[in-house]
Amino acid sequence: MKNLIGACMFGQSGGPTSVINASAAGVFTEALQQGNITAVYGAAHGIQGILTENFYDIGKEDLAELENLKYTPSSALGSVRYKLKNVEEDETDYKRILEVFKKYNIRYFFYNGGNDSMDTCNKISKYLLKCGYECNIIGVPKTIDNDLYGTDHCPGYGSAAKYVATTMMELFQDATVYDKGQITIVEIMGRNAGWLTAASALASYKGFGPDLIYLPEQAFDIEKFLKQVQEVVDKNKGKCIVALSEGIKTAEGLYVAEAIAQGNTAKDSFGHAQLGGVAATLANLVKERVGGKVRAVEFSLMQRCGSHVGSKTDVEEAFNAGRYAVKYACEGYTDKMVVFKREEGKEYKINYELMDIELAANTEKKVPDSWILPENKGLTQDFVDYALPLIQGKLDNPSEDGLPRFARLKKVRA
Amino acid sequence: MKNLIGACMFGQSGGPTSVINASAAGVFTEALQQGNITAVYGAAHGIQGILTENFYDIGKEDLAELENLKYTPSSALGSVRYKLKNVEEDETDYKRILEVFKKYNIRYFFYNGGNDSMDTCNKISKYLLKCGYECNIIGVPKTIDNDLYGTDHCPGYGSAAKYVATTMMELFQDATVYDKGQITIVEIMGRNAGWLTAASALASYKGFGPDLIYLPEQAFDIEKFLKQVQEVVDKNKGKCIVALSEGIKTAEGLYVAEAIAQGNTAKDSFGHAQLGGVAATLANLVKERVGGKVRAVEFSLMQRCGSHVGSKTDVEEAFNAGRYAVKYACEGYTDKMVVFKREEGKEYKINYELMDIELAANTEKKVPDSWILPENKGLTQDFVDYALPLIQGKLDNPSEDGLPRFARLKKVRA
């Protein structure tokens, strides 16, 4: 544990969220205040910007614009999906990173991302440790999927969950307005973990949510699904709302659209999964087997970049995650990731702690089975108690001409 | 022109908007204050509720909940798509309406909807006039399509336009974040009029919008489209954002997905229009012909019920449209629709006037050609000047548990 003097580098990696830039704002504003940080750099497109010496001098930015990053979705510096090879396999990238870090005397490195990005961060950390190059490295978590191990929840999840629950309530209003029934099938992001789809249960909790919820944590049975939809339709004058994860799979491990395409069910020819997603594929099946008006809806990219409906709690926590990463690094910690620890008790409170980054890399946290109601009826009160605090607070996003006023960075090359 | 004493009936009809209930709030609160209105009824599912004597006594509702209607999307009373036959063809429904109106002494009738609903309203108005049954009838316009004749714009458009422009800005952030390019094709509502798709130009005006915009007002040439996308991709490191109306048609009058399915282009097998919409169909074509990562996005139902991002101007105007309908009816006007007249000059100001309802029925107002830039480069400054005032103002939507607090009506049957 060493209190170093030198420059700091920050990079953004992986898919967009509403609050990834809020963490950037936290890192930057804190780093600019730290006496032992001599320069603050932001890498263009994460690790790639480091490899190509393409990064910005954040000291040249206006503080007001850095503050505005809190309300600017996605990655202001540019993101990247770049998986470092294992060092035993190919050392090239690692050598280059060390070279760049030495050249700019980078002694603090912060990397913001999900599982894969924490893996990258971990590999760099271990390599520099091995080489004896002193650099304090802290990962800043981020993912709408909420699937990172060791943290109560991930920055980005609260805002995406708020988008999902809010939009689901509005869709409920839209989809139930006619006297004639409609079956609405809503597809929500989440390949392996159903946290975001589970957030639609918050809408049900308010009385305006889906009747049936399908998470990737449980095998999807196409015939059972059709039966469950039929039951709701029969009970509810033809009205039925379904929320499901893009990643639902059959017991055989096939994505549902694949399974239908392969004719694994009694049904035949709805195998155009490449065109629509699973909601569109299932909507066609439901139209044929259950009948009535059926509509597929995808929350698509909107759910991960909808910062206009962001959670204030999420933005503040994302900001703090960045801030604490810098604080801890300046205290001498390294090879860690910031995690959220929720205090016991009725009042919601988060403490910002550290965990070995190795533990975060490439693990996945799933929705516990005990929080999933039987027969796809939704989520338990335990889930609601867990998730509801994360979506609290209305943002006071700056606007201009009635539209969002995103941060305008100068992006002066270092 | 006669100042009548009796009950008033209000009905909601057609597709949802964010502010249809704001007009209901305007009608209800004004009607409850008018001395010559003896009772205020809200029809369940529009004209159908009248035919089946299924309506609610609005006098039994809490005023605070009626106020909350301003922030509750879609139709709180239920909507309907019911086209009255011409009276010469079948008089049954008309006789029934007259019977119900007589039974409840309904002397004021307000109907809220788009073209088809104004047609219904017009037919009832003419029939009652012919029968000599005194009833003051005023139509209240509403449609996200903004295609009603005789009014500067329609309640519902401003909020949907704000959703489109805001979400497009966020998508821009999301879609341009990687160093590798992505082609994003966004499908926006509008069968025959491109007003809503045109609103994506407001995002371009702020620097975060689509590169190419396709409206149904102009014939869609598939080969030209592919060429234009290719040009943007070449110029812009593989990044290209397209906004297009669901209703775009080829010069032969075929919907684009149909045209592609029929092999009218050089291409072949992308004819699964029933699964995805036109964006999905074109995304597949672009993937094959232009290459790279291509993503189709549909704003789907969200664009018409996204009241959390509603325009304050729109909500207030929708409320006033309802209020003025009642005021004018109580002054003795009948057989009219409320229209918005924009004052000349720099300051945006709307006056609420009346127009013969016959003029509103079944006509369509399209985006003027002179507002559409050549080569699908977007809309002119004239359009921006027209549309920008309509999306102004942030709503102070009530919330509960971090989620929208929709109106809770008692719905006491009359």
Contact B170 A73 (CB under 8 A): yes
Residues of chain B with CATH 3.40.50.460: 162-303
E-only strand ranges, A103-209: 106-113, 136-141, 183-188
Residues of chain A with CATH 3.40.50.450: 6-144+306-363+393-404
Catalytic residue selected from B93, B116, B145, B211 = B145
Of B202, B308, B311, the CB nearest to A309: B308
Rounded mean pLDDT of B141-151?
A: 96
Nearest CA of chain B to the CA of A105: how many Å? Answer: 26
Contact A391 B406 (CB under 8 A): no
The vertex-A220 CA angle with A215 and A221, nearest 5°, equals 150
By the CB < 8 Å criterion, does A297 face chain B? yes
B205 contact residues in A (CB cutoff 8 A): 401
Hey, is B402 helix, strand or coil? coil
C-alpha to C-alpha distance for B313 and B393, rounded to whole angstroms = 6
Decide if pLDDT at A265 tops 50: no
Contact A301 B402 (CB under 8 A): no
Contact A403 B79 (CB under 8 A): no
Tell me the DSSP string of A242-302.
EEEETT-B-TTS-BHHHHHHTT-SS--S---TTTS-HHHHHHHHHHHHT-S-EEEEE-TTH
C-alpha to C-alpha distance for A199 and A188, rounded to whole angstroms = 10
Tell me the DSSP string of A320-364.
HHHHHHHHHHHTT--SEEEEEEEPSSSS--EEEEEEEHHHHTT--
Decide if pLDDT at A22 tops 50: yes
Q: Mean pLDDT score of chain B, rounded to an integer?
A: 94
* Structure confidence by residue, pLDDT tens digits, A128-173: 999 999 999 999 999 999 999 999 999 999 999 999 999 999 999 9
Residues of chain A with CATH 3.40.50.460: 157-303
Question: Both tokens of residue A44?
Answer: 């263009």
Nearest CA of chain B to the CA of A88: how many Å? Answer: 27
Question: Both tokens of residue B375?
Answer: 């080569």
Q: Lowest-confidence range among A174-188, A280-294, B255-269, B281-295?
A: B255-269
C-alpha to C-alpha distance for A357 and A126, rounded to whole angstroms = 10
A119 to A53, A96, A325, A357, B61: CA distances (angstroms): 21, 18, 17, 8, 58
| pLDDT of amino acid A275 | 37
Contact B302 A167 (CB under 8 A): yes
Of B208, B280, B297, the CB nearest to A276: B280
| pLDDT of amino acid A76 | 96
Decide if pLDDT at A27 tops 60: yes
* Structure confidence by residue, pLDDT tens digits, B353-388: 999 999 987 778 999 999 999 999 999 999 999 999
Nearest CA of chain A to the CA of B300: how many Å? Answer: 6
C-alpha to C-alpha distance for B36 and B24, rounded to whole angstroms = 19
Selection from A156, A238, A245, A232 nearest residue A200 by Cα: A245
Dmax (CA) of chain A: 71
CB–CB of B267/B254 below 8 Å? no
Q: Provide the pLDDT confidence category of residue A262 given band limits of 50, 70 and 90.
A: confident
Question: Both tokens of residue A220?
Answer: 């999807």
Q: What percent of chain A has pLDDT over 90?
A: 90
Decide if pLDDT at A64 tops 90: yes
Decide if pLDDT at A108 tops 50: yes
Helix (H) or strand (E) holding A47: helix A47-51
Nearest CA of chain B to the CA of A267: how many Å? Answer: 16
Contact B174 A404 (CB under 8 A): no
By the CB < 8 Å criterion, does B406 face chain A? yes
C-alpha to C-alpha distance for B158 and B155, rounded to whole angstroms = 7
Selection from B140, B136, B155, B131 nearest residue B350 by Cα: B155
Report the residue of B308, B383, B399 to disrupt the A interface, i.e. the one with the largest count of A CBs within 10 Å.
B308
Instruction: Name the residue with higher pLDDT: A269 or A34.
Output: A34
By the CB < 8 Å criterion, does B21 face chain A? no
Of A74, A173, A184, the CB nearest to B406: A173
A26 to A67, A197, A318, A412, A414: CA distances (angstroms): 9, 28, 8, 19, 20
A268 given a catalytic annotation: no
By the CB < 8 Å criterion, does B210 face chain A? no
Contact A403 B392 (CB under 8 A): no
Class of domain B162-303: alpha beta
Strand partners, B287: none
CATH topology of domain A6-144+306-363+393-404: Rossmann fold (3.40.50)
Residue A217 CB partners (closer than 8 Å, separation 6+): A193, A194, A366, A367, A369, A372
Number of helices followed by number of strands (H, E) in chain A = 15, 13
Q: Residues 143-202, chain A: which have Cβ within 8 Å of B?
A: 162, 165-167, 169-171, 173-175, 177-179, 184, 202
Taking CB atoms and an 8 Å cut-off, how many pairs form between chains A and B? 173
A391 contact residues in B (CB cutoff 8 A): 402-403
Q: Lowest-confidence range among A200-204, B2-6, B291-295?
A: B2-6
Decide if pLDDT at B120 tops 80: yes
Alpha carbons within 13 angstroms on the beta-carbon side of residue A389 total 16
* Structure confidence by residue, pLDDT tens digits, A295-337: 999 999 999 999 999 999 999 999 999 999 999 999 999 999 9
Decide if pLDDT at B61 tops 90: yes
Q: Tell me, rounded to whole angstroms, the distance of Cα B204 from its chain centroid.
A: 22
Nearest CA in chain A to B284: A275
C-alpha to C-alpha distance for B134 and B105, rounded to whole angstroms = 10
* Structure confidence by residue, pLDDT tens digits, B206-244: 999 999 999 999 999 999 999 999 999 999 999 999 999
A275 contact residues in B (CB cutoff 8 A): 272, 275-276, 280-281, 284
Nearest CA of chain B to the CA of A186: how many Å? Answer: 11
CATH code: domain B6-156+306-363+394-404 is: 3.40.50.450
Q: What percent of chain B has pLDDT over 90?
A: 90
Query: What number of residues does chain B have?
Result: 414
By the CB < 8 Å criterion, does A117 face chain B? no
| pLDDT of amino acid A269 | 37
Nearest CA in chain A to B199: A403
A317-329 burial code (b ≥16 CB/10 A, e <16) = bbbbbbbbbbbbb
| pLDDT of amino acid B342 | 98
* Structure confidence by residue, pLDDT tens digits, B237-289: 999 999 999 999 999 999 998 888 776 443 333 333 343 489 999 999 999 99
Q: What percent of chain B has pLDDT over 70?
A: 96
Rounded mean pLDDT of B284-295?
A: 94
Residues of chain B with CATH 3.40.50.450: 6-156+306-363+394-404
Looking at domain A157-303, its CATH superfamily turns out to be Phosphofructokinase domain (3.40.50.460)
Decide if pLDDT at A268 tops 90: no
C-alpha to C-alpha distance for A268 and B366, rounded to whole angstroms = 42
| pLDDT of amino acid A63 | 96
| pLDDT of amino acid A267 | 38
Nearest CA of chain B to the CA of A165: how many Å? Answer: 7
Instruction: Give me the interface pTM, i.e. the ipTM.
Output: 0.96
Nearest CA of chain A to the CA of B35: how many Å? Answer: 32
By the CB < 8 Å criterion, does B385 face chain A? no
Decide if pLDDT at A94 tops 90: yes
Catalytic residue selected from A145, A211, A314, A335 = A145
Rounded mean pLDDT of B125-145?
A: 97
- pTM to 2 decimal places: 0.96
Q: Lowest-confidence range among A2-6, A23-27, A404-408, B316-320?
A: A2-6
Contact B178 A79 (CB under 8 A): yes
Q: Provide the pLDDT confidence category of residue A263 given band limits of 50, 70 and 90.
A: low
Report the residue of A21, A80, A82, A166 to disrupt the B interface, i.e. the one with the largest count of B CBs within 10 Å.
A166
Q: Mean pLDDT score of chain A, rounded to an integer?
A: 94
